[in-house]
Amino acid sequence: MTRPQVVRVIGGLKSLLTGVRRVLACTVLVASTLSFSAETTVEPGVRALERGHYSTAMRSWLPLAREGLAEAQNNVGLMYERGLGVTQNYPDAMNWYRQAADQGLAEANLNLGLLYYSGYGTQVNDREAFRRFRAAAAEKLAEAQYMLGLMHYAGRGTAQSFIEAYRGFLDAAKQGYPEAQYMLSYLLLSGDLGKMQPDASYVWSKIAKDQGFADAEELNYLATLELNESAIQAAEAVAIQCATSNYQNCPE
């Protein structure tokens, strides 16, 4: 089994926009839980964005961002990063992300880390990317936990450590993040953790596959080659238990 390329398993770099959770052209929208009044929340802008009214969303968020609302600053940063309603401008995106990140907003730290990781609007800076991902992962953000796992896996911005990569992938996998479930399955089957664990690999690849992560199907098949029929049936039962427990009662 060949080791997957790190870029291949990212599945599209994601930026986070504070609002309603959904996928929009590699952008993940996440719900704001802060208790601001209706006039100072980001939700009106999110609704405008969902309707494709990008300029309206920008007009909704920009005054809030200038007043210091971290969620709005993050969203304005994303609009500049993606060129939605404004001319694409990575330095402006980084500026707004940094202002929100300096207030401790996990999504902004992740978004800033992704720019440093990919070199958009700046030189690639693995150490700064790692620092930003670590800060966001500390707030239990699954995407950041996954990226932290990738950094450890590839030895970017930190010493290579399959054990630390495993921890990052596991944290994200238990939040239902399919890319992390795939990479966790890969590590368990590869032997990089000291020994092959095809039964646990089967479980996580099955779960990732069932969530629609296409690459997991081949990995799940490779795991079956290391198991007999009774072991496969047992792993199937564990996968069902894992999924129905919201990924809490799963192999570790």
DSSP structure string for 203-244: HHHHHHHHTT-TTHHHHHHHHHTTS-HHHHHHHHHHHHHHHH
3 pLDDT above the threshold of 60 = no
Mean pLDDT of 22-38: 34
Mean pLDDT of 90-98: 95
- Indicate the Cα dihedral angle 202, 7, 20, 244, nearest 10°: 0
Q: What is the pLDDT of residues 57-74, one digit of tens each?
A: 999 999 999 999 999 999
Output 248 or 164, whichever has higher pLDDT. 164
**Other residues' Cβ atoms within 10 Å of the Cβ of residue 198:** 20
How many residues does the structure list for the chain? 252
The overall average pLDDT reported for the chain is: 85
Alpha-carbon gap, residue 59 to 86, rounded angstroms: 11
> Would you say 93 and 81 are in contact if contact means Cβ atoms under 8 Å apart?
yes
Q: What is the pLDDT of residues 160-177, one digit of tens each?
A: 999 999 999 999 999 999
Instruction: With cut-offs at 50, 70 and 90, classify the pLDDT of residue 49.
Output: confident
Backbone torsions φ then ψ of 28, nearest 5 degrees = -100, 125
The helix (H) or strand (E) run that includes residue 126 is helix 126-137
Kindly list the structural domains of the chain, giving each domain's residue range(s) and its CATH number in brackets, ordered by start. 1-144 (1.25.40.10), 161-252 (no CATH)
Q: Rounded to two decimals, what is the model's pTM?
A: 0.86
Task: Give the long-range contacts of residues 184-191, CB within 8 A, separation 24 or more.
Answer: 185/216, 185/219, 185/220, 185/223, 186/3, 186/4, 186/9, 186/219, 187/153, 187/162, 188/251, 189/1, 189/219, 189/222, 189/223, 189/226, 190/1, 190/3
Cα 128 to chain center, whole Å?
17
Output 43 or 242, whichever has higher pLDDT. 242
Percent pLDDT > 90 in the chain is 74
Q: What is the pLDDT of residues 177-217, one digit of tens each?
A: 999 999 999 999 999 999 999 999 999 999 999 999 988 99
Alpha-carbon gap, residue 221 to 209, rounded angstroms: 11
Any idea what DSSP says for residue 36? -
